Structures are given as C-alpha cells and as structure tokens.
C-alpha cells in the first residue's frame, strides 16, 4: 500500500476522497467506490500500488492510438480496480474482481517498471491501461515521472472520470491520452456506467487545452447508445471543440460481463463512420474485420498514408516529422 493523494480528513476518521467526481465519503476501514482506496485510521491508502496484473509490449495501435508514433511499441501495464461500473466491461476480472486478494499480480516498484521498459526493443514509453489508471493514480504518477526523466513517453488509456486538479498534475508529465467516451447521453452514463457525462467532457477539454495528444474511443452498443441523432450530436461537439483532425475510434461491441445484447451490426458501424467523416478527418472502426477501416487517409491529397492489418502497420507513407510524404500534410506525431 501507498499513501494516497487528493483527499480531506474529517471528524471520526472520515475521509472525503477528491480524486474523481464521485467524491466518496469513506468511513474508517472502508474503501471508496473504486474498491482500491482504503481508509486506515483516518488516512487514505492506495491498495493497488505496485500490484501489476499485466505487463506486455504492445503495438501502440492497440491502445488505440493511430496518430502518436504509429508503428511503434509501448510497454503496457495495469493493476486492478475502476471508478465506473460499466455493465459491459471487457476487463471486469481486473476492474471489478470478486476477491482482490485472489487476483494474480506481481509486485513491481516504479523503478523496476522503468528498467523493464528501457530493455524493450522499439519501445517509445509506458502506457497505463488494461484497467482504469485513475484508480492507481499514485503508482501511475510515480512511474510517469521516471519515464519522463528517461525520455520515454507516458500514455494514459482512461475513462476520463477524474477531477481537474489531479488531471492537471498528470498532464504535466504524460504525453498522450485515449479517452473512452462511453456515450453522448448522461442517462447512459448514469444507468449503465454509474457515472455522468459532464466530468468526462471537462476532462477532454482540459487535455486539449494543454496541447496534449488525444484520441477518442466510442463503443457502440445496440439499443443503448446507437442513436444516429445522438451520435451525430457527439461528432458535432467533438469537431467543434477539438477540430477536424481529432482521431475517433468507433468500436464494435460484443457481449461481455453483465450485458448479453447481440454484437453491433457492421451496417451500423459503417453508417456511423460516414456520419463522423462529414466533420472529422480521421475515423476508424475497431473490433471489426473489414477492409480499409483502420487505414489512415491523408485528408489533403486523399492518398493512403498508413495501411494497417490488425494492430500492425504494413505501409507507412509519413515522414519522420509525421507529415504525408506525398503532400506534406501533418498527420501524426512521430
């Protein structure tokens, strides 16, 4: 365990957590909603600090990040716990384990994670992923500091459900984010994810205002967040706030955890891609085998700048500065 950040102490050893928008009031010997921040004698501790449930060298496209050092690898790590309760969670065994003590993990100090990362071939940095990194904020922060000091990139794959102050401190030391925008519907956030939309929108605006690389993932679930009208409103907001070059990953849903709805139809995903492309230059479909839907097309000359197969880059027609080799249009951070 590790001393936690961002909380207030109250009477009778009560704690008010200030890490995320829930603002849990935590009695002594109890945990917050994330189930990994524990009140002991009126002090808050991060219970999952250093407990790594997975560490792998992944293609950066798997995060998914398509416009941040495309074709490179990143050391990816996760622990356990989450501050949302999505009924469709694909990593529920990590995010909401029935018994934390029984979950397999290996203890790694931040220095050991750095050492592992530095030994990897073709590795640009460290990605905080697999389960929600916000709930292991202290561990992520300590590793990100070391990564930055050693010229490694820090990448956060998150639901974006975090308060502005801790987010601002994190932005200082990381380089790129993929934020999972669950829906453009507060009812969905409340009923399906146990959260709310407004804080996530604020997170996106804060990241963008600090000039950090950002990409958006939207998982489309039949009957829950697949309204064409709602999706169009989301795209209009994204393009208006962040510009036409914001990458959007539209992902296909498959039954998982507590949700047994049939998978998203390919017709819906292709239709949504067409809608998004009216306002956004870089729109991709994930979790679906289909020709060309993960390729990057230069919006200026219409050449295929990057050809992907699965999570691998087969053809890369951008230069070392991230510009299209044919016309010079800025496509990626390299």
Q: Give the burial class of 198: count Cβ atoms within 10 A of its Cβ; 0-12 exposed, 13-18 middle, 19 or more buried.
A: exposed
**Which whole-number Å values give the CA distances from 109 to 9, 53, 122, 159, in the listed order?**
28, 13, 23, 25
- Distance from CA of residue 27 to its chain's centroid? 30
For residue 25, report the phi and psi dihedrals to the nearest 5 degrees.
-95, 115
Q: Indicate if the alpha-carbon torsion angle 144, 75, 119, 108 is positive or negative.
A: positive
Q: Give the burial class of 182: count Cβ atoms within 10 A of its Cβ; 0-12 exposed, 13-18 middle, 19 or more buried.
A: buried
Q: Where are the domains of the chain?
A: 2-46, 51-292, 295-334
Short-list 164, 143, 165, CA closest to 154: 143
203: enclosing H helix or E strand: helix 198-209
Local structure of 308: helix, strand or coil: strand
296: enclosing H helix or E strand: strand 296-297
Q: Mind listing the pLDDT tens digit of every residue in the chain (334 residues)?
A: 899 999 999 999 999 999 999 999 999 999 999 999 999 999 999 999 999 999 999 999 999 999 999 999 999 999 999 999 999 999 888 898 766 666 788 999 999 999 999 999 999 999 999 999 999 999 999 999 999 999 999 999 999 999 999 999 999 999 999 999 999 999 999 999 999 999 999 999 999 999 999 999 999 999 999 999 999 999 999 999 999 999 999 999 999 999 999 999 999 999 999 999 999 999 999 999 877 999 999 999 999 999 999 899 999 999 999 999 999 999 999 9
- At residue 108's C-alpha, the angle toward residues 107 and 112, to 5°, is 160
- Residue 325 gets which letter from DSSP? T
Q: Please, which residues have CB within 8 angstroms of residue 129's CB and are 6 or more apart in sequence?
A: 63, 76, 77, 78, 155, 157
**What CATH superfamily classification does 51-292 receive?**
Aldolase class I (3.20.20.70)
For 34-90, give the DSSP string.
TS-EEEETTEEEETTTTEESEEEEEEGGGTT-SSBSTT-EEEEEE-S--S---TT-T
DSSP alpha helices (H): ranges in 96-136? 110-119
The Cα 136–Cα 79 span in angstroms is 7
Q: Indicate if the alpha-carbon torsion angle 36, 40, 44, 45 is positive or negative.
A: negative
Radius of gyration of the chain (CA): 20
Local structure of 280: helix, strand or coil: coil
The Cα 246–Cα 29 span in angstroms is 44
pTM tops 0.95, yes or no: yes
DSSP alpha helices (H): ranges in 120-163? 137-149
């Amino acid at each position: 365990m590790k001393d936690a950040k961002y909380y207030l102490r109250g009477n009778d050893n009560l704690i008010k957590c200030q890490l995320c928008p829930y603002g849990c009031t935590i009695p002594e010997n109890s945990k917050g909603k994330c189930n990994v921040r524990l009140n002991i004698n009126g002090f808050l501790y991060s219970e999952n600090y250093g407990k790594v449930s997975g560490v792998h060298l992944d293609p950066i496209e798997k995060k998914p990040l398509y416009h941040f050092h495309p074709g490179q690898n990143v050391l990816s790590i996760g622990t356990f716990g989450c501050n949302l309760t999505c009924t469709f969670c694909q990593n529920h065994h990590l995010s909401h384990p029935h018994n934390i003590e029984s979950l397999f993990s290996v203890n790694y100090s931040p220095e050991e994670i750095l050492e592992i990362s530095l030994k990897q071939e073709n590795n640009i940095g460290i990605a905080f992923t697999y389960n929600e990194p916000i709930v292991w904020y202290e561990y992520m922060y300590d590793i990100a500091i070391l990564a930055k000091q050693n010229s490694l990139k820090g990448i956060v794959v998150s639901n974006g459900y975090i308060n502005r102050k801790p987010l601002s401190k994190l932005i200082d030391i990381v380089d790129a984010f993929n934020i999972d925008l669950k829906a453009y519907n507060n009812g969905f956030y409340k009923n399906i994810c146990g959260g709310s939309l407004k804080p996530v929108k604020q997170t996106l605006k804060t990241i963008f205002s600090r000039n950090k690389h950002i990409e958006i993932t939207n998982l489309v679930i039949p009957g829950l967040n697949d309204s064409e009208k709602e999706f169009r409103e989301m795209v209009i907001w994204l393009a208006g706030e962040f510009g036409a070059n914001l990458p959007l990953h539209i992902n296909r849903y498959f039954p998982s955890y507590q949700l047994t709805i049939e998978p998203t139809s390919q017709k819906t995903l292709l239709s949504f891609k067409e809608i998004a492309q009216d306002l956004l230059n870089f729109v991709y479909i994930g979790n679906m085998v289909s020709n060309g839907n993960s390729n990057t097309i230069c919006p200026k000359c219409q050449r295929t700048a990057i050809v992907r197969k699965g999570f691998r880059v087969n053809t890369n027609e951008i230069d070392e500065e991230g510009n299209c080799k044919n016309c010079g249009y800025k496509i990626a951070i390299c």
